[in-house]
Structure 1
Amino acid sequence: MTIWHHITSYAFAIREFVAPTYRPERYYMRGPGPACARRRGGSFEARASFQ
């Protein structure tokens, strides 16, 4: 590996430590989706209309 790769990886690590990037779409799950409804035998659209 080159010295530049080490420098950029250290710079990225320092930046993440100082100001971490938070992306809620990576961690937030909104609930059961169409795959869950298929496993249970119901339709996703019918369940979504009641909420």
Structure 2
Amino acid sequence: MLTWTIIFLVVALIAGVLGFGGVASTATGIARVLFFVFLVLFAVSLLTGRGVSL
């Protein structure tokens, strides 16, 4: 999920630099939503104590 957030963020930055306003705003919106979903899932995993055990 974090990978998708980073991908859409990079697409938004490149589109913004090149002047593609519609593409940049769409990619930014998707990146923002994915970031908040990732943040909520991270907080839930911290609260429940279910993490990756090495």
| TM-score tier (shorter) | 0.3 to 0.5
Superposition TM-score, scaled by structure 2 size: 0.35
> If each structure's helix is expressed as a fraction of its own residues, which one has the higher value?
2
Superposition TM-score, scaled by structure 1 size: 0.36
Structure (1 or 2) with the larger CA radius of gyration: 1
RCO comparison, higher one (Cα < 8 Å, 6+) = 2
